[in-house]
Amino acid sequence: MEKQVFNPFLPSWEYVPDGEPRVFGDRLYLYGSHDAFNGSDFCVNDYVCWSAPLDDLSDWRYEGVIYRKEQDPRNRDGKMHMCAPDCVQGPDGRFYLYYQLHALTCTCVAVADTPVGPFEYYGCVHHPDGTPWGEKKGDSFAFDPGVLVDDDGKVYLYVGFSPEGLFKHVFKLRGNKVDGSVCLELEQDMITVKGGEHPIVPGPVLARGTDYEGHGFFEASSIRKIGGKYFYIYSSILSHELCYAVSDKPTEGFRYGGTLVSIADIGLRGNTTPLNYTGNTHGGMCEVNGQWYIFYHRQTNRIKCSRQACAEKLTILPDGSIPQVEVTSCGLNDGPLSGKGQYEARIACNLGAATGMVKSDEAKKKDKKNLLPTFTQSGEDREANGDQYIANLQHGSWCGFKYFAFDGTESKLIVTVRGSAAGTLKVYTDCNLPPVASVPVKPSDDWTEYSEKLEITAGEAPLYFVYEGGGSLDFSVFEIE
């Protein structure tokens, strides 16, 4: 790579969640829904696309708006939001974008001659009689489509939604099934249902007493074929994790595999403490130059609908299992980040408070004393000079960055902070050991630099910044020189 790449890997002002990575030709394309900074709801912006050359995943290019909400004839006023999409190349060579308008029950399709459009409305996935699939009583709720064009040219659509409580009751009243995910085979036209529904992964109720118990299907279907086996990725009822199931067939026999990633590292090596905000996540797997990755999104701004794209390397073991991966700051990078250089605080992969972390959509309700730190930005939505930073580090709050490769030479740490804080920003590679730096800070309304010696040995290590003192601290940048 020509430069380092971090998590989140898109610019700080970009909020693309639900990322589906797809390789077409010599580039990797990211399709996702499109949140707004400080948005009032999920997916309020038009679809955009980003891409990178396969030989340099640090070089992401903005491909622009590829499909607008108003292009769907049932949404001319643009009031309905476009939820998580997927994009595949059909047997005819064209590119098909599958999506759902949030207030409808069916899967919509747009089509283009290139991976980045312009996409044009194609229609609704429908029964042979033309009725949109999802609108007949007994159809499953067609949410979060994932699509597979198999090696033999057959086309499979995976959808589903399996909430609990009131939402489940409402959907059942509408006549939709919401008991797990299902698969439909489509005709070669990419839009007509060829057969009936095939159950794939059970929802939380049907999962009881099975290997899926505690990790039953909630939403976020994604499908990949690897080495002759079908890997189905989904968001479990826990919401903060992506799980997978495996089968020898595309329509049946899926066995629970495990958790791929949790945005708060819950379940990793037995951890039960959220190491960041929890909330929903959604993504897919992709292979680039022999390396598999899982794409997912994180939560920001103390709300549920300002989400950003991240990715981590996966290891597929010889038996086909995939161990849960740790969220990191380096994700798509060739390896750990350099132990020398300047880094934005926004690339922290862990964020915590002395009081513990909560779901992003519960932060404002549960954090009435405003004790929790958060990722936020100055400027408005999609304002390219709107810098992102960590706000509101109070006594006992911390942020973690993983990982760096240190060479053991003498180093100096420079931090850029502001706020009412009067205390010390302590830096650790292991919170059970003495700090490797202690940086005194004073109250300041303006961004202010402070520097101290960084005493760290050669090797790969994380950096944990822990604030101790009064007031609150905003954290913008740190540099190691």
The Cα 158–Cα 135 span in angstroms is 17
The Cα 401–Cα 385 span in angstroms is 23
The Cα 141–Cα 181 span in angstroms is 9
Q: Pairing state of beta strands 180-186 and 155-160? A: antiparallel
Q: Nearest-5° angle of CA 168, CA 170, CA 175?
A: 95
Contact 295, 30 (CB under 8 A): yes
Residue of 14, 18, 144, 265 marked catalytic = 18
User: What element of type H or E holds 22?
Assistant: strand 20-24
Contact 381, 437 (CB under 8 A): no
* Nearest residue to 422 via CA among 449, 454, 398, 395: 395
Residue of 35, 144, 197, 219 marked catalytic = 219
Q: Nearest-5° angle of CA 421, CA 423, CA 427?
A: 110
| 219 included as an active-site residue | yes
DSSP state string for 391-422: EEE-TT-EEEEEEEEE--S-EEEEEEEEES-E
Specify the length of the chain in residues. 481
Using DSSP, state whether 375 is helix, strand or coil: strand
DSSP state string for 424-470: EEEEESSTTS--SEEEEE--EEEEEEEEEEE---SEEEEEEEEEEEE
**Residue bearing tokens 């439909």:** 184
Bridge partners (DSSP) listed for residue 20: 31
Residue 227: burial class (beta carbons within 10 Å; 0-12, 13-18, 19+):
exposed
**Residue bearing tokens 């499979």:** 156
The Cα 415–Cα 431 span in angstroms is 19
Residue 430: burial class (beta carbons within 10 Å; 0-12, 13-18, 19+):
exposed
The Cα 168–Cα 160 span in angstroms is 12
Q: Pairing state of beta strands 198-202 and 95-99? A: unpaired
* Nearest residue to 350 via CA among 415, 416, 293, 277: 277
The Cα 409–Cα 394 span in angstroms is 32
Residue 273: how many other CB atoms lie within 10 Å: 10
Contact 183, 197 (CB under 8 A): yes
Q: Which residues are catalytic?
A: 18, 219
